[in-house]
Amino acid sequence: MQLCLRNLGRLQAWPDRRCPGLVAGTLVCRAPPPLQANLFPFLMHQASMSYFLFKTEPDVYSFDDFLRDKETVWDGVTNPTAVKYLREMKAGTKWIFYHTGEERAAVGTGSVVSVDAADPKVPIVKVKAGKRLSKPKTLAAIKAEPIFANSPLVIIGRLSVVPLTPEQWEWFVK
């Protein structure tokens, strides 16, 4: 299987073949290595995704703080992949609020109010509080669900902004 990675330059490409219909010298790759192959569906659909999970330490900023504030600017994200996800978000994007540390559980929801990506390294993402989940979803429960088997949430544990599929979103909020 050949995949043209014209817009996904982060994956490894092999210059041994040209992508039909594109300019000469365009890089084409075979199926990515196993870890990247598991993430490929998330990468292919990230621009159209409207669901994410945001992680935070509850002793730094908890869901209770978020409910009290009602709106805030989500900052402090430095991982390039997480920053990329933030930069590409649109107003109305829904997300799950996840406590890291000792708790390790999804506890609530929120949505994106606006995104200012004028500075691509530090997008300003304004978010508003949603509702508390009826029952927190622990990391152990998440890992036990087959729908999360290939999710960056379990594959790349240190990623602070994680894309979710609509099916995963529904699992969290049910």
Q: What is the pLDDT of residues 47-76, one digit of tens each?
A: 455 899 999 999 999 999 999 999 999 998
13-39 pLDDT, tens digit per residue, is 434 344 444 344 434 334 444 444 445
- At 22, list the tokens: 């594109």
pLDDT at 7 over 90: no
> Tokens standing for 130?
């949603």
* 7: Cβ contacts below 8 Å, ≥ 6 apart: none
SS3 track for the chain = CEEECCCCCCCCCECCCCCCCCCCCCCEEECCCHHHHHHHHHHHHCCCCCEEEEEECCCCCCHHHHHHHCEEEECCCCCHHHHHHHHHCCCCCEEEEEECCCCCEEEEEEEEEEEECCCCCCCEEEEEEEEEEEEEEEHHHHHHCHHHCCCHHHHCCCCCEEECCHHHHHHHHC
| pTM recorded for the entire structure | 0.72
| The pLDDT value given to residue 130 | 97
The pLDDT tens digits for 104-158 are 999 999 999 999 999 989 999 999 999 999 999 999 999 999 999 999 999 998 9
Q: Where are the domains of the chain?
A: 48-173
CATH topology of domain 48-173: ph1033 like fold (3.10.590)
What's the angle, vertex CA 101, arms to CA 100 and CA 105, rounded to 5? 45
